[in-house]
């Protein structure tokens, strides 16, 4: 038997799974999950449950379960041995229940589950709205505003948080963009970039330079994941999609305030620790539950005036120090001087 860690809306449990056995079946694993979560096997498959392997998603959607990143088919057939799933000792499974599935009251993530079933743990009291903003969704999960540092690398930090589960990997995101531009001169030519290619590459590798649509397009293709940006001020939604042939069917959500990007992720409770957050979610339409929540989150941030009007904000060129008013002057200054690094006063 080998330990396999199961994270789920009702807590965290370590399951003992005979991962190499020919007699321990997939149904045995599903029953073990049921014992820990009270989500029966019938609701762990066929578009009712979404699983996440370690920090990478595998999901059911009336098709085989998928594993890894990009997702690869992984079919749950109860009669097969669990070895057919390719699980390894120490693997981590994260289970969330899809909207519409019936479940019992959810326990706080910190509640000890050993020796208890979820129904024996008192239901969570309403959580006061403190800390980061959040929106409750119909299935009882929450879309959480994940704030990243305001350090000119916010786009890269947000994508790193979404796609690598570690905002500290922002520098790696910059390198991915630089390599993509360097390796594809036909697509990323001087006319598209607005600057000589080597100059653009050199600039984007500096931690003081901002990213935008070009960077999101490249990162969406690299991670084979739709990156969706919701503008706080206007509610506009911009989708940066990977090529259809390589698309994973997953989406990451960013909140854009005019000069700053943050991430958003799904969690079982507003105060759930980071390990419980799902940063990549299945794309279930242009206006699915997550996108509706993202728009409500933008509404909440707009009500707090948590955005910057880019037509009127004050900027400073980080190269020559010239003061500028709004994005229009910044673009004109960049065109005249080649300077492409700006900071807000």
**What digits encode the pLDDT tens for the residues 196-242?**
999 999 999 999 888 999 999 999 999 999 999 999 999 999 999 99
Checking DSSP bridges between strand 237-240 and strand 250-256, what pairing results, if any? unpaired
In this prediction, residue 20 carries a pLDDT of: 81
Q: What is the mean pLDDT of the chain?
A: 76
Runs of H (alpha helix) within the chain: 26-37, 154-164, 170-183, 190-193, 197-204, 213-223, 289-303, 326-337
The CA–CA distances, whole Å, from 63 to 43, 48, 96, 113, 305 equal 14, 11, 17, 31, 43
Distance CA 45, CA 128 (A): 34
Higher per-residue confidence, 209 vs 146: 146
Q: Which of 70, 57, 71 is nearest to 221 (CA)?
A: 70
- Tell me the CATH number of domain 2-102, given options 3.40.50.720, 3.40.190.90, 3.10.20.90, 3.40.50.10140: 3.10.20.90
- Least confident residue range of 7-11, 235-239, 334-338: 7-11
pLDDT digits (tens, 9 = 90+) for 153-194: 999 999 999 999 999 999 999 999 999 999 999 999 999 998
Instruction: Please tell me the predicted confidence (pLDDT) of residue 336.
Output: 82
Contacts of 229 (CB under 8 A, 6+ apart): 216, 237, 238, 239, 240, 254, 255, 256, 261
Domain boundaries for CATH 3.10.20.90 within the chain: 2-102
Encode 93-151 in three state secondary structure. Answer: EEEEECCCCCCCCCCCCCCCCCCCCHHHCCCCCCCCCCCCCEEECCCCCEEEEECCCCC
Q: Which has the minimum average pLDDT: 6-20, 51-65, 224-238, 267-281?
A: 51-65
Catalytic residues: 151, 154, 260, 339
Instruction: Delimit the CATH 3.90.70.80 region(s) of the chain.
Output: 134-303
Residues 6+ apart with CB under 8 A from 323: 314, 315, 316, 317, 345
Q: What is the pTM of this model?
A: 0.59
Specify the higher pLDDT residue, 79 or 238: 238
Size of the chain, expressed as the number of residues it contains: 345
**Banded pLDDT at 298 (limits 50, 70, 90):** very high
- At residue 83, the pLDDT reads 81
Which pLDDT tens digit goes with each residue over 114-131? Answer: 222 222 223 334 444 446
* 134-303 topology per CATH: Cathepsin B; Chain A (3.90.70)
């Amino acid at each position: 038997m080998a330990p396999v860690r199961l994270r789920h809306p009702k807590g965290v449990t370590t399951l003992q799974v005979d991962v190499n056995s020919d007699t321990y079946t997939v149904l045995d694993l599903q029953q073990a999950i049921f014992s820990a979560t009270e989500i029966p096997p019938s609701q762990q498959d066929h578009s009712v449950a979404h699983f996440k392997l370690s920090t990478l998603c595998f999901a059911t959607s009336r098709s085989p379960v998928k594993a890894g990143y990009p997702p690869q088919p992984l079919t749950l057939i109860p009669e097969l041995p669990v070895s057919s799933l390719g699980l390894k000792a120490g693997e981590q499974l994260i289970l969330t229940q899809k909207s519409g599935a019936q479940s019992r009251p959810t326990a706080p993530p910190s509640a000890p589950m050993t020796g208890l079933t979820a129904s024996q743990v008192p239901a969570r009291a309403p959580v006061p709205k403190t800390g980061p903003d959040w929106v409750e969704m119909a299935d009882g999960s929450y879309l959480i505003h994940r704030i990243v540092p305001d350090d000119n690398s916010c786009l890269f930090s947000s994508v790193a948080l979404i796609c690598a589960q570690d905002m500290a990997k922002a520098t790696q995101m910059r390198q991915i963009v630089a390599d993509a531009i360097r390796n594809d001169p036909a697509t990323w030519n001087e006319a598209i970039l607005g600057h000589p290619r080597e100059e653009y590459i050199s600039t984007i590798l500096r931690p003081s330079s901002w990213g935008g649509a070009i960077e999101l397009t490249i990162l969406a293709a690299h991670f084979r994941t739709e990156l969706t940006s919701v503008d706080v001020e206007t509610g506009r939604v911009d989708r940066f999609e990977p090529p259809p042939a390589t698309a994973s069917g997953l989406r990451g959500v960013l909140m854009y305030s005019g000069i700053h990007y943050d991430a958003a992720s799904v969690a079982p409770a507003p105060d759930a620790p980071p390990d419980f957050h799902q940063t990549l979610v299945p794309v279930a339409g242009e206006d699915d539950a997550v996108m509706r929540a993202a728009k409500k989150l933008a509404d909440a941030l707009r009500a707090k005036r948590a955005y910057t009007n880019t037509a009127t904000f004050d900027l400073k060129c980080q190269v020559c120090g010239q003061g500028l008013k709004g994005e229009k002057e910044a673009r004109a200054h960049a065109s005249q001087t080649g300077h492409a690094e700006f900071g807000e006063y």
